[in-house]
Amino acid sequence: MPDRFSEIKKQLIQMRDELMKEVSDSYETCREMGQDGVPDIGDMSSIAYNRDVLFNLSETQQQRIRDIEAALNRIAEGEYGICMECGEEISPRRMEVRPFSRYCIECKTDIEKNGA
Ligand SMILES: [Zn+2]
The CATH number of residue 64's host domain is 1.20.120.910
Query: Residue 75 Cα, ligand 1 centroid: separation in angstroms?
Result: 17
47 and 101 belong to one structural domain: no
Exposure string for 66-79, b = 16+ CB within 10 A, e = fewer: ebbeebbebbeeee
43 and 54 belong to one structural domain: yes
**pLDDT tens sequence across 69-116:** 999 999 999 999 999 999 999 999 999 899 999 999 999 999 999 975
CB contact set of 38 (below 8 Å; sequence gap of 6+) = none
pTM of the model: 0.71
Counted domains in the chain: 2
How far apart, in whole angstroms, are the C-alpha atoms of residue 20 and residue 61?
8
**pLDDT tens sequence across 8-47:** 999 999 999 999 888 888 778 777 776 555 555 566 677 7
Query: Residue 11 Cα, ligand 1 centroid: separation in angstroms?
Result: 24
Query: Residue 108 Cα, ligand 1 centroid: separation in angstroms?
Result: 7
Query: Residue 22 Cα, ligand 1 centroid: separation in angstroms?
Result: 32
Query: Residue 42 Cα, ligand 1 centroid: separation in angstroms?
Result: 50
Domain of residue 103: give its range. 82-116
